[in-house]
Amino acid sequence: AQSVSQHNHHVILSEAASLELGCNYSYGGTVNLFWYVQYPGQHLQLLLKYFSGDPLVKGIKGFEAEFIKSKFSFNLRKPSVQWSDTAEYFCAVNAREDGNNRKLIWGLGTSLAVNP
């Protein structure tokens, strides 16, 4: 079965530190890739997405992610985090050629706490 793995469950950083959250998936075919963010007490919002083209994608609030096909990875980065980035971050994958391509496969999430 397809799966998405987020390696870091809890991350604590100080403001201005750099961030990298790992995401790996197990599907070998063509994929659409997503990072969602959930601020405390809120619903999930799209941070960025990759469908095709330039493997380095930029999202909102200074976030970016790099798709490395050979490593089945889609890691999220931000050069300098802010206190307001405190949130839970979810990686999700859509296997485009799979019969179940109407669904997203979700990672378990990474909780990020940024200390002021």
Partner 1 sequence: NAGVTQTPKFRVLKTGQSMTLLCAQDMNHEYMYWYRQDPGMGLRLIHYSVGEGTTAKGEVPDGYNVSRLKKQNFLLGLESAAPSQTSVYFCASSYIAGGNEQFFGPGTRLTVL
Shortest separation between residue 100's beta carbon and partner 1, angstroms: 10
Q: Which tokens hold the place of 54?
A: 């330039």
Q: Which of 14, 42, 82, 84 binds partner 1 (CB under 8 A)?
A: 42
Contact between 32 and partner 1 by CB under 8 A: the answer reads yes
CA distance 42 to 44: 7
Within 45-74, the residues that bind partner 1 by CB under 8 A are: 45-46, 49, 51
Helix (H/G/I), strand (E/B), else coil: 86: coil
Count H helices, E strands: the chain?
0, 12
The radius of gyration of the chain's CA atoms, rounded to the nearest angstrom, is 14
- Which positions lie near partner 1, rule CB under 8 A? 9, 32, 34, 42-46, 49, 51, 90, 92, 94, 96, 101-104, 106-109
